[in-house]
Amino acid sequence: MTPTRHPSDAVLADYASGALRSAFSAVVAAHLEHCPHCRDEVAALEAVGGALLETLPESGLAAEGLERVMAALDEAEAPAAPAQSTIERIAFGRERFLAPSMGIRKAGSGADGELLYLLRLPSGQKTLPHGHLGVEFTTVLKGAYNDNGALYRAGDFCEMDSAADHQPHVVVGEECVCLIASERPMRMTTRVGWLVQALTGV
Ligand SMILES: [Zn+2]
């Protein structure tokens, strides 16, 4: 199944240029494994970036350089789909989640405090109600969830900011596993949420 929800052009450009922090980059990479469309786009962006780098030391983007950029765009080919990532092996392998009853497995945290973790919830379960204190990227690895009337299925990508509170719920029929990167821990809105946060750090 091809994903229908993709990273924005700005996010793909940041990914292609290496500007994303590694936690966020990992979540985009998980989407790319499912999405030939975005792999094409990243390949084209990387080709343009390479051509620009070759051109810049001369006199900016001269007419000849622009031709080379356009030619590189035409020639850009999508890379083959990468092998199953380490993250997915962790998600579906034998290793237990660190907090199995809560379905949270922390994969790492970055120098600026950003978090990378897997969330595994059973069929039909709701997440705790929460908001966000910064940007959050999610790629669905397995199953599907609904959030405010929008359906996110395996491979789909979601970018949240610190706007509204929400409470996604897993579609009935299959467990749901998501890979999530966030700038800051969630903003929990219930006592249970505070407890879970104290135990898991997410
Ligand atoms: Zn995509």
Average confidence (pLDDT) per 10 residues, the chain, 202 residues: 94 93 91 95 87 60 54 50 47 44 63 82 87 90 93 95 85 91 83 77 74
Beta-strand runs (E) in the chain = 104-109, 115-121, 130-131, 136-142, 144-147, 150-153, 157-160, 169-170, 176-182, 187-188
**Do residues 57 and 104 both lie within one domain?**
no
What are residue 157's phi and psi, to 5 degrees? -115, 140
What distance in angstroms lies between residue 42's CA and the mean position of ligand 1's atoms? 10
What distance in angstroms lies between residue 152's CA and the mean position of ligand 1's atoms? 13
Cβ atoms 137, 28 nearer than 8 A: yes
What distance in angstroms lies between residue 80's CA and the mean position of ligand 1's atoms? 15
What distance in angstroms lies between residue 62's CA and the mean position of ligand 1's atoms? 32
What distance in angstroms lies between residue 190's CA and the mean position of ligand 1's atoms? 34
* Residue-level pLDDT at 79: 40
What are residue 140's phi and psi, to 5 degrees? -80, 125
Q: What is the pTM of this model?
A: 0.72
**Do residues 29 and 120 both lie within one domain?**
no
Please tell me the total count of domains within the chain. Answer: 2
Residue 88 falls inside a structural domain: no
Distance in angstroms (rounded) separating the CA atoms of residues 128 and 196: 9
Instruction: Provide Rg for the chain, Cα atoms.
Output: 19
Residue 112 falls inside a structural domain: yes
Distance in angstroms (rounded) separating the CA atoms of residues 125 and 76: 43
* Residue-level pLDDT at 166: 85
**Do residues 13 and 111 both lie within one domain?**
no
**Do residues 189 and 115 both lie within one domain?**
yes
Domain encompassing residue 15: 9-75
**Do residues 137 and 181 both lie within one domain?**
yes
**Do residues 63 and 129 both lie within one domain?**
no
